[in-house]
C-alpha cells in the first residue's frame, strides 16, 4: 500500500509554481494562439488531472520532476512554435545545421515519461519489476509517440498545409520527421530506464513504507 503523504510536498508545490509561471509567460503574445492550443492545451489538461488527483495518488518526486520538465519544454515550444525556438535557431546558424532541432529535444525528453508510466503500472496495475514491466512500459510509451504522429498527420490532411499546420507539425522539410520523432522518444525511454530505474525503485520503496 503506497502512502500519499510525503515529506516533499513543498518541493512539489515549488515545481508547480515554476510550471505555472512558464505557462503564464507562454500565453503572453505567442506566435499563434491556435498553435499554442494544439501544443500546450493537452499539457494543461494533464496538469489539471495531476493536481486534482494529488491527494489520492501522489507520484514520486522523480516523476513530478520529469512532468515539470516536459511541461516547461512544451510551453516554450507552444510559445514560439517548435521550429522557431530562438536558442535552437542560434544553434542551427552557429553550427550550420539544416533545421531547428528543438522538437528533437522535446521528443527525446518525452521518452523520460517512461518513468511516469512505469510508476503507474507498478502501483496501479501491480506489475512486478522485471521483463514484463519493461515490455509494457516501452509499448505504452511508443504507442503514445505513434498516436501523436498520427494526430500530426491528420492535422496536416485536414488543414492542407496552412500556417497553423506548419507551426504545429514543425516538419521543416524533413521527409522522415515522424520517424525521427519516434526514434528520439525511443532513445529517451531507453536512457531513462537505464539511468533512473534503480533510483525510481528506491523512491517507490520509501513511498510504500
Strand ranges for the chain from DSSP E: none
pLDDT tens per residue across span 88-133? 999 999 999 888 999 999 999 999 999 999 999 999 999 999 999 9
Residue 202 has pLDDT above 80, yes or no: yes
The pLDDT value recorded for residue 178 is: 83
Residue 166 has pLDDT above 80, yes or no: no
pLDDT tens per residue across span 34-85? 889 988 999 999 999 999 999 999 999 999 999 999 999 999 999 999 889 9
DSSP H helical segments within the chain, as ranges?
Answer: 9-26, 33-52, 61-80, 86-95, 102-110, 114-123, 131-159, 163-169, 177-208
Residue 165 has pLDDT above 90, yes or no: no
Radius of gyration (Cα) for the chain, nearest Å?
A: 18
C-alpha 50/C-alpha 156 separation (Å) is 30
The pLDDT value recorded for residue 70 is: 98
The pLDDT value recorded for residue 30 is: 95
Instruction: Dig out the grid coordinates for 162 from the structure.
Output: 496552412
The pLDDT value recorded for residue 2 is: 65
C-alpha 32/C-alpha 154 separation (Å) is 19
C-alpha 209/C-alpha 201 separation (Å) is 13
**Looking only at Cα atoms, what is the longest distance across the chain?**
54
Residue 135 has pLDDT above 90, yes or no: yes
What is the pLDDT averaged over residues 180-184? 93
Q: Would you kindly state where each structural domain of the chain is located, as residue ranges?
A: 9-208
Name the least confident of 54-58, 98-102, 136-140, 177-181.
Answer: 177-181
The pLDDT value recorded for residue 122 is: 97
Does residue 77 or residue 156 have the better pLDDT?
A: 77
Q: Is the pTM of this model over 0.95?
A: no
Reported confidence tier of residue 176, pLDDT bands at 50, 70, 90: confident
Amino acid at each position: 500500500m503506497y502512502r500519499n503523504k510525503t515529506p516533499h510536498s513543498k518541493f512539489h508545490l515549488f515545481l508547480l509554481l515554476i510550471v505555472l509561471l512558464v505557462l503564464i509567460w507562454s500565453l503572453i503574445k505567442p506566435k499563434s494562439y491556435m498553435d499554442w492550443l494544439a501544443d500546450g492545451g493537452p499539457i494543461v489538461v494533464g496538469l489539471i488531472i495531476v493536481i486534482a488527483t494529488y491527494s489520492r495518488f501522489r507520484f514520486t518526486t522523480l516523476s513530478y520532476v520529469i512532468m515539470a520538465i516536459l511541461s516547461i519544454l512544451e510551453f516554450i515550444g507552444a510559445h514560439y512554435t517548435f521550429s522557431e525556438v530562438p536558442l535552437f535557431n542560434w544553434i542551427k546558424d552557429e553550427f550550420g545545421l539544416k533545421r531547428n532541432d528543438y522538437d528533437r529535444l522535446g521528443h527525446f525528453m518525452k521518452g523520460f515519461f517512461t518513468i511516469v508510466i512505469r510508476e503507474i503500472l507498478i502501483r496501479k496495475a501491480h506489475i512486478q519489476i522485471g521483463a514484463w514491466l519493461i515490455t509494457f512500459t516501452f509499448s505504452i510509451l511508443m504507442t503514445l509517440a505513434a498516436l501523436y504522429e498520427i494526430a500530426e498527420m491528420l492535422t496536416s490532411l485536414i488543414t492542407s498545409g496552412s500556417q497553423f499546420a506548419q507551426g504545429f507539425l514543425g516538419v521543416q522539410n524533413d521527409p522522415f520527421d515522424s520517424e525521427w520523432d519516434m526514434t528520439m522518444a525511443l532513445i529517451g525511454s531507453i536512457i531513462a530506464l537505464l539511468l533512473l530505474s534503480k533510483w525510481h525503485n528506491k523512491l517507490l520503496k520509501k513511498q510504500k513504507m
